Structure formats: structure tokens, C-alpha cells
Amino acid sequence: MLYTLHELAYNSAAPFRFGAQMARQFWSSPLNPAAETALGRTAFASAELFESLTRRYGKPEWRLDVVDVDGVPVATEIEVAWRSPWCRLLRFSRHAEDVKAAGRKLDAPKVIIVAPLSGHYATLLRGTVEAFIADHDVYVTDWSNARQVPMLEGRFDFYDYIDHVREMIAAAGGRPHVVAVCQPGPPVLAACALMAEEDHPNRPASMSFMGSPIDARLSPTVTNQLAEEKPFTWFKSNMIHTVPWPYPGLGRRVYPGFVQLYSFMSMNEEKHIDAHRRYFGDLVAGDGDGVEKHEEFYDEYLSVLDLTEEFYLQTIDIVFQQHLLARGLLEHRGHKVDLSQIRDIALATIEGEKDDISGVGQTQAAHVLTPNIPDSQRLLYVQPDVGHYGVFNGRRFREEIYPRLRDFIAKHEAVSAEI
């Protein structure tokens, strides 16, 4: 019922959005003599703010057709390397001549960036991908919006996620390097363990975890505490809703993206209110830089996708309530996931000192859980003065975190090539 009411509210606001769009055009028209007056700027800002708060944000574009590499523009093309109804593995193919001009290697290490399936699209990692493109052959998991997947395609749960990761790693070929950002940590670690136990020829050469809840019992955050304080039945009763018409996934039970968005925004309510106050002020003042910065962030942040009921509830149960992987109790298709089987996959963990989603210690727990990886194949790093988002995006990521990961990957690319 909540999903239907949400859609009803959105559609009911359509006439008001249309009116706001007309007002915005009127008060921004160069033919309007009052456009640049205080009244005109305030009216324009009011219409712009209303429209931005009530419109539907679709799946963002990657906008990485050209990437700057040390001042040299490198063109890229997106290729689909593997697909299922639930995910596409995208490859950012770099133009050879541009790569040569930038002084980079054509035969670069393959890196699979596993994007989180936790309410936002993979484009949230645009800055992450852009940094890696300079020195790597980059692949990214592009997860589907559950409301767009017809019921005939069946279920998608935590164990299907593990299978998808394994299949995508194999599809990339060779021994690629896997980088898991936030949520994917536990299933990616499980997938690597299973491939290691099989001595799979495409098992990763290295695995890097960034702000991931490998062991959510450590340094619990507000998010962790909510998952532990509420009984499992509460999540099933309050967080799961049915996809309404006219979406292709009509009838599918999902954890809606808008519920996740409201939950995240409520954690920092004052911050978001202040941001929109500044946005209104920048619109009135005609501060193009401030307006552009705000719109760039919120166009991405407000674009959300739905998760299947089974994947969301199993993640709550396995990762945040029972901590099965961290306790050595996780089974996949009836087979125990044994992290001690990982012996020749290098391990890097990256955390943010001020992370309020995955507290310090949750990600680096992977080192304790994988006792048979040699010390020479480990990297443990905590970035000072950054929160969750800063672990994989922004200036600190580009200048301090990415260089460490780049060198770590290069080192273990060389080692895997020798074996």
C-alpha cells in the first residue's frame, strides 16, 4: 500500500510541477524585464526548488565518455561484458591512441569494481571509476532496479548475488582484481573463498574492500544498531512493499529505494535542510558554481532503485543480525564458506576514520578472517578525516587512497603474472 500511495502522491503533484516549470521559464526568460529583480530571482528560485524536490530522478548517465589523465583526454566506450536480468557487467574500454598519448599501459590490470546494491545506482561510483580508468582495464557491476524486472525472471537473493559475482569474475578472464565498495564486502569475500577452494583459474589476484561491513559487530554505527535492535519480523512487516502498476515488476515484493533514501536522509536531516537552504540562496544570488555543485550531488543522491525482498531480508539476517560470515557459519548452496582457503589472493582494506555507516574495524576484520594470506600480500589502511562517502570518492580518495590501491594492484598483478 505504501508504494501505491507514494506513486499517487507523485502523480498528484504533476500539475504543480508543471506550474513550477512554467514559472521557472517565465522568471528566467531574458524577455522578462523583472527577471533580474529581487522579486524575479526569488520567484525563480522558489519554482526551481519546488520542482527539484518533487520530480522523479531516473537512472543517471555515467558521463565518462572522456576522462582526463594527467591533462590528456582519454576517450572511453562502454561495453557489456556479461549480463543477466539482474545485472550487467560494464567494461570501460579505453581508446588505444589516447592511452599511449597519456603515457599509460595498454595491457593494464583488469579491475572489477563491485558496486553496492543498497538503494543507489552504480553511477554513485562515478568518481571511483574515473580514477581507476587512468591505470586499469575497468569493469563495473551495474545492478538492475528490481521494480523493472518482471516476475517471470524469478527471485534474486543473497546467494544469487554471490553466484553473480563469481560468474562476472570468470567472464572478465585471467585473474582480475576485485574492488568491493561498501555493501558487497561479505558476498564478494565469500565468492573469492569459494573460487579459491576450487582453485578456479579466474580467481582474483587481489581483493580490496572499501568501507564494507565484513564484521558488523565491530564499532557498531546507528545503522548497525537499528539492524540489531529490531527483530527480523519488523523488517519484513515494515520495510517490504509491493511494486504497483505500471512497472514491469508489477507484484514483486521489494525494499523500495525511496524508503532507503528517506532513512539515510533522516540520519542527517539538518545537513540536508541546510544544503537546500544554501541552494535556494545560490539560486537567488545567481551563484552558478554553488548551484551546479548542489545539483550534481543531489541528482545522483536522489536517484534510487529497489531491492528484492529476499536479497534485502537475507542481507539483514546474514550480515547484520547473525554475522554468519564473520562467525565462520555461512553456507552457500549447502557448502560451508571457508575463508581459510584463501591463500594466493592479496587483501586490501580501506576504511574512513569518520565512517558512520561501516565503523572502523568492520572492514579490516577481513584480515583476521583470512589467516592463510601471507603478510606480504596485505594492505590495511584507515584514511584520516573522511566519512563513508570519502572512502571511495572526493579529493582524499583521489590523492591519498587511490594511489595506495593502484600500487597494491600493480604489485600483485606482477606476482600473479609470475605464477
Average the pLDDT over 177-192 and give the result: 97
Total length of the chain: 419
How far is C-alpha 207 from the chain's CA centre? 17
Question: Domains, the chain, ranges and CATH?
Answer: 2-56+257-301 (no CATH), 66-231+307-418 (3.40.50.1820)
Task: Specify the pLDDT at position 52.
Answer: 85
- Is the separation of the CB atoms in 351 and 391 below 8 Å? yes
DSSP string, 93-148: EEPHHHHHHTT--SSPPEEEEE---SSB-GGGGHHHHHHHHTTSEEEEEEEPPGGG
pLDDT for residue 233: 93
Write out pLDDT tens, residues 116-171. Answer: 999 899 999 999 999 999 999 999 999 999 999 999 999 999 999 999 999 999 99
* Residue 18 or residue 217, greater confidence: 217
Residue in 94, 97, 146, 89 with CA at minimum distance from that of residue 117: 146
Measured between its terminal Cα atoms, the distance across the chain in Å is 57
In 3D space, the residue among 216, 192, 160 whose CA is nearest the CA of residue 357 turns out to be: 216
- Residues 6+ away with beta carbon under 8 Å from 161: 117, 184, 187, 311
Average pLDDT, the chain: 92
63-89 pLDDT, tens digit each = 999 999 989 999 999 999 999 999 999
Q: Report which residue type is found at 11.
A: N
DSSP alpha helix (H) spans, 173-213: 185-197
- The pLDDT, as a whole number, for residue 335 is 95
Share of the chain above pLDDT 90, in %: 68
Band (pLDDT 50/70/90 cuts) for residue 28 is confident
Mean pLDDT value across residues 210-218: 97
pLDDT at res. 269: 80
pLDDT of 342-376, one tens digit each? 999 999 999 999 999 999 999 999 999 999 999 99
Grid cell of 300 as nine digits: 545522483
Predicted confidence at residue 380, as pLDDT, reads 98
**Each residue of 277-325: pLDDT tens digit?**
888 888 888 888 888 888 888 888 889 999 999 999 999 999 999 999 9
Distance separating alpha carbons of residues 162 and 145, to the nearest angstrom? 18
Which set of grid coordinates corresponds to residue 77? 566506450
pLDDT at 101 over 80: yes
Contact present, 98 and 70 (Cβ < 8 Å): no
